[in-house]
Chain A
Amino acid sequence: MYAFNYQRPKTVRQAAGLLAKAGGDGKLLAGGQTLLPTMKQRLASPAMLIDLNQVDGMSGIELKGRNLHIGAMTKHADVANSHVVKTAIPGLAALAEGIGDPAVRNRGTIGGSIANNDPAADYPAACLGLGATIVTNKRKIPADEFFTGMFDTALEEGEIVTKVIFPVPQKAAYEKFPNPASRYAMVGVFVGKKGSDVRVAVTGAGANGVFRLPEFEAALKTRFNAKSLDGLSVPADGLNGDIHASPEYRAHLIGVMAKRAVSKALGK
């Protein structure tokens, strides 16, 4: 790790101000589960760390009408254990429960996870699969426009994620096939159904990060049942290949995980 300056603002405005002052050399620190290991390995060397952990009002879970609001600084463990989340979107609580290990879940945050947009992270699948809205200090961004590529998002310089709003679906579930080593998603599929809107989002598999499967969505719109996916397949082109899984294997797993997610969403 290289030496850096450290700031602990109390408000989002202060944080934004510090970020602006640091120019390109400042970094927001949320749970630190990605940022700190990267700094320890000297792969990142921000001149200033702006710690969000004492900023007021950035964490918390609240059901407002048919929408679930989750503050950016809410820890994975809090989402996993929240009665509100478990009742409104059980699939989302289960997803959070499956991230990393207890230490990671008790530090890592939803805002950090989606801002980082690791192509193998779990939350991006939920955001896309539920049609979430990402709220920042400047604007509201639909999930469909937020995740723009591997470790890349629509966030602009100085923009801070403050919360994520999930519309409560009728049915939703996540199936994750973990990478054997890291246990990040090697393939993760989130399915969500709200009225006639059916979404199937895939993480872990795409070279450009999380993506949707329109063909699967169309089939499920006709009938929301795992059988509707019979015969559908995903081309291996453009999927990740590494020592753990070839693009072909990932393509196959997407089909299997999608069906299992649908069955799970139906309570089967």
Chain B
Amino acid sequence: MRPTDPRFTGIGLGLRAPLAEAIVHRAPPSLRWLEVSPENHVNRGGSFVRMLHEARAKFPLVTHGLTMCPGSTDPLDRAYLTDLAAFVRAVEAPWHSDHLCFGHRDGVFLHDLLPIPFTRDAAAHTAARVREAMAALPVPFALENLSWYAHPGEAELDEAAFIRAVLDASGAWLMLDVNNVYVNARNHGFDAREFIDALPLDRVVQMHVAGHLVAEHGFRIDTHGEPVCDDVYDLLHYALRRTGPVPVLLERDHNPPPWEALVDELDRLDAIWRDATGVTP
């Protein structure tokens, strides 16, 4: 059974310092919960502690990591997992998620979400690491599909089959990033709806939407710094029709717009969520 939590329904927003004041004091009714990245908060004092405390007083929090890098060939960092588990427990997150990628190599952190080859070996390696991480975490764990711009070497599987292989072998849930699906579909020339249909949708615990940058020749770069585009709203509606009422998060990490513009995006997402699921959050 897919993990659910009645606190997490409808639309959420990523807690980011430039947005924190507005989130706490001027949130619209369409905003029901927040997502936080443990890496921004663990073992840190000062303004981020206050921000988290104020946010927690108003909203339930779910956690979304940036640096587990389950696809990495470096050994898993036990101290990180211990801190992460304590943080997840402290904020009472219903589940934790991170990306299906690598981002560090030989102890060097590249601070990006880098692609791993869609091969059976890579799926097995990643699933084993995910199982190890899951054993250290107090809540269910979900993997997020990546936006990727190039594939290293020859693929043995298509992306959907690769994701399925990792989830099947690890028992992890899926964090479906709809914008990432869209960006990949446009950049690599496949059909976004067919891709979504090929995923194990019964494993989706949460979704992401975000804006992306349209660069030269229409190439799409996943920036989380632009408004969500119409096609991604449509794709979200399509995905929600298939998954049912899973919570949806708006990611806005850079280039923060006036708060009113974000409220409009949250309201539009809320309307789509209600229409697609037939549920009132």
| A interacts with B | no
Interface residues of B (CB under 8 A from A): none
Interface residues of A (CB under 8 A from B): none
